Amino acid sequence: MTVQLLERDARTELFDVTPLQPSLGALVSGIDLSRPLDGLTRDALRAALLHYRVLFFRDQNPTREQHIALGAAFGELEVHPVFSLPDYPEILPLISQELAGKYRQTSDGNWHADTTFRAEPSAASILIQRVSPSLGGDTVFANAVAAYETLDDETKERIDGLTAIHDPQIFLQFLDTEEKREALRSQYPPVEHPVVRIHPETGEKVLYVNSVFTRRIVGLEESESRALLTRLFDQVKRPEFQVRWSWKPGSIAFWDNRATQHYAVPDYTDARHMERVTIIGDRPVGPSLKS
Amino acid sequence: MTVITHDFVNAREADSPLDIVPVAGRIGAEIRGIRLSGDLDDATVAAIRAALIRHKVIFFRDQIHLDDAGQEGFAARLGEPVAHPTVPVAEGSRFLLDLDSKEGYAASSWHTDVTFVPAYPEASILRAINIPEAGGDTLWANGVTAYEELPDALKTLVDNLWAVHTNDYDYASAFANAPTDRINYHKEIFASTVYETEHPVVRVHPESGERALLVGHFVKKFVGLSGPDSQRLLAILQEHVTKPENTVRWRWRANDVAIWDNRSTQHRAIADFGLQRRTLRRATIAGDVPIAIDGSRSRAIVPDQQQTLEAAE
């Protein structure tokens, strides 16, 4: 098989890994994520995550405390500024009951990496499905390293030294007072990230703009910025770089948020309840700043 | 005419006699417990046709018994099989199209089959023979939900719009990863006779009455629009058709059969399987001439009807 199974032999004693698509994604089985991870297993999961970019698990049933502990094994956890559970601030709930029976009125899905409006966007997220819709509600993940690699040379050269402005304005609609909106704006002012990010662990170049949080490219005319961003946003839509994941209750996805983007498919009409913990990442560094 | 009205667009129909498991929220269903063949009884064939129209693409696993003749026999039960207008039939078959992408490429841009002729196929039946261990999935998109979801301003624009479809199109972008000599080879065979046809952008489905967007990679331009405007508008419409909520992604296994309603869908292969062998055979069912919302019909531009009649004599 052409898919390279990095260090697979070394890991099979800890858990099984089955690649799902040539570009990214693997199903991990033979592991119970509700139990504390020993150092060896944690390191093997981290290596698998860097290699496959998104890991999937079935039939997991961690409590919220165990979900938080699982995330904390990989780093310090974020508290989302707009969405978090009162008793479990590290947990971001995604509850979509209100979509029932009216998909035509809902907003479109969108491609994004999580929290790039932060100066230090999240490194990884661990998302569990608690309640499944009767049909639909998949998530599609895209490999943002492959998206960069397959750009033409001219575009790569053009974007390697560029930076872009990211902000959290998409969340303003969820805040009911001007005071709260102003608080969000002042807590998270627009932030500048490289358009091409050097992955801090693998050294790979990653296409690091996304259609939710990236506003404009610094130093370009608005129309030119718009045209280039459209071109770059389109690049992650190619299914050759994607894996589409169908959730069941107890399914978990664990993605490298620095190397992927994802899209929650809004094709369901009943309840869908997800919970996420999110691991804090580094300040992104572009190729021009790398010494 | 049955008009499908329900909130949950891809739910199984309660009174279908078949064991149906929908795959995605708006398109695609697996049908279990059926052995496809030319000997299926009328009631089963009618139920399969109804499921096809409702779910747009239906999948059957483990059709191990099916060979070329069996696939052709089943196709003849489903409708009137036709060969491709320009590509020669697969060796040893009467009308099957061979899709053998051992060199790592496939039809990886979104399209509806054979829309460069007026009465293009109503359905295709694709049987998987060799499937890569990883990669080579196919995506289908629902042209009906894509139309229904358009904002009113875009609906108004497309309701009376027509497009010119041709088989003399951009082969290089349709066959990503293919070497130049293979692209030229495809172009020579595929466009050995050049066709151009005007279709309405919104087709009224002859059986369900649903309205579906009819675009895809054979569109050359929109009637009355310039080339650049046509390209921009086509990109907008394709974006609506192909966004993930309108699609289903199928992971093939050998001996799978997929059947799609070619009047309400687009599809594309995913060219991510390197040099692994990927072989499928397609039977194609004749269709009728599309009807626009205002009742007018698609028309041939090249060759025109007069030429076609003369050629037939």
Contact status of B271 with chain A (Cβ, < 8 Å): yes
Question: What's residue B93's pLDDT?
Answer: 86
Whether residue A9 has pLDDT greater than 50: no
Given a contact cutoff of 8 angstroms between Cβ atoms, the answer to whether B277 and B106 are in contact is: no
Residues A222, A92: Cα–Cα separation, whole Å? 34
Respond yes or no: is residue B113 known to be catalytic.
Answer: yes
Whether residue A22 has pLDDT greater than 70: yes
Catalytic residues of A: 112, 114, 262, 276
Question: What's residue A18's pLDDT?
Answer: 95
- One-letter amino acid identity for A214? T
Residue of A nearest to B250 (CA): A244
Confidence of residue A104 (pLDDT cuts 50, 70, 90): very low
User: Which has more confidence, B76 or B102?
Assistant: B76
Q: For B159-175, what is the mean pLDDT?
A: 86
Question: What's residue B135's pLDDT?
Answer: 93
- Percent of chain B topping pLDDT 70: 92
Whether residue B120 has pLDDT greater than 90: yes
Confidence of residue A4 (pLDDT cuts 50, 70, 90): very low
Question: What's residue A2's pLDDT?
Answer: 33
Given a contact cutoff of 8 angstroms between Cβ atoms, the answer to whether B64 and B147 are in contact is: no
Point out the residue among A23, A136, A240 whose CB comes nearest to the CB of B24: A136
**pLDDT tens per residue, range B192-244:** 889 999 999 999 999 999 999 999 999 999 999 999 999 999 999 999 999 99
State the nearest Cα–Cα gap between B242 and chain A, in angstroms: 10
Q: Among B258, B235, B79, which Cα is nearest to A234's?
A: B235
Whether residue A55 has pLDDT greater than 50: yes
Residues B270, B106: Cα–Cα separation, whole Å? 7
Whether residue A12 has pLDDT greater than 70: no
User: Which has more confidence, B94 or B293?
Assistant: B293
Residues B269, B217: Cα–Cα separation, whole Å? 13
Question: What's residue B307's pLDDT?
Answer: 57
State the nearest Cα–Cα gap between B11 and chain A, in angstroms: 8
Q: For B155-167, what is the mean pLDDT?
A: 97
Given a contact cutoff of 8 angstroms between Cβ atoms, the answer to whether A111 and A214 are in contact is: no
Kindly give, in sequence order, each residue whose CB lies less than 8 Å from that of residue A19, ignoring residues fewer than 6 positions away: A3, A5, A25, A26, A52, B134
All residues of chain A having their beta carbon less than 8 Å from the beta carbon of residue B106 are: none
Question: What's residue B162's pLDDT?
Answer: 98
Whether residue B84 has pLDDT greater than 90: no
Whether residue A49 has pLDDT greater than 60: yes
Q: Taking the mean position of all CA atoms in its chain, how far away is CA A286?
A: 19
Question: What's residue B178's pLDDT?
Answer: 75
Residues A44, A23: Cα–Cα separation, whole Å? 20
Respond yes or no: is residue B111 known to be catalytic.
Answer: yes
Percentage helix, strand, coil, to 5, in chain B?
25, 25, 50
How is residue A272 written in tokens? Answer: 């869908």
Number of A:B CB contacts under 8 A? 80
Lowest-pLDDT range, A37-46, B41-50, B86-95, B185-194?
Answer: B185-194
Question: What's residue A99's pLDDT?
Answer: 44
Q: Provide the chain B residues 102-121 that lie in CB contact (below 8 A) with chain A.
A: 108
All residues of chain B having their beta carbon less than 8 Å from the beta carbon of residue A142 are: none
Output the average pLDDT for chain A: 90
Q: For B186-192, what is the mean pLDDT?
A: 79
Q: Reply yes or no: is the peptide bond before residue B228 cis, omega within 30 of 0.
A: no
What is the three-class DSSP state of A278? strand
State the nearest Cα–Cα gap between B8 and chain A, in angstroms: 7
Respond yes or no: is residue B6 known to be catalytic.
Answer: no
Q: For A91-107, what is the mean pLDDT?
A: 60
Contact status of B168 with chain A (Cβ, < 8 Å): no
All residues of chain A having their beta carbon less than 8 Å from the beta carbon of residue B26 are: 136, 267
Question: What's residue B108's pLDDT?
Answer: 86
Q: How many other β-carbons are positioned within 10 Å of the β-carbon of residue A88?
A: 17
Flag if B244 and A23 touch (Cβ within 8 Å). Answer: no
Residues A112, A217: Cα–Cα separation, whole Å? 16
Whether residue B105 has pLDDT greater than 90: no
Lowest-pLDDT range, A99-113, A141-155, A177-191, A246-260?
Answer: A99-113
Whether residue A5 has pLDDT greater than 80: no
Q: For B173-181, what is the mean pLDDT?
A: 73
Given a contact cutoff of 8 angstroms between Cβ atoms, the answer to whether A118 and A192 are in contact is: no
Lowest-pLDDT range, B50-64, B106-120, B294-308?
Answer: B294-308
User: Which has more confidence, B106 or B194?
Assistant: B194
Residues A172, A263: Cα–Cα separation, whole Å? 20
Helix (H) or strand (E) holding B267: strand B265-269
Question: What's residue A73's pLDDT?
Answer: 98
Q: Provide the chain B residues 23-82 that lie in CB contact (below 8 A) with chain A.
A: 24-26
State the nearest Cα–Cα gap between B283 and chain A, in angstroms: 25
Confidence of residue B94 (pLDDT cuts 50, 70, 90): confident
- Sign, CA dihedral B143-B112-B288-B71, equals negative
Output the average pLDDT for chain B: 90
Flag if B24 and A239 touch (Cβ within 8 Å). Answer: no
Whether residue A102 has pLDDT greater than 50: no
All residues of chain B having their beta carbon less than 8 Å from the beta carbon of residue A103 are: 25, 245
Question: What's residue A108's pLDDT?
Answer: 63
What is the three-class DSSP state of A284? coil
Q: How many other β-carbons are positioned within 10 Å of the β-carbon of residue B57?
A: 29
Contact status of B270 with chain A (Cβ, < 8 Å): yes
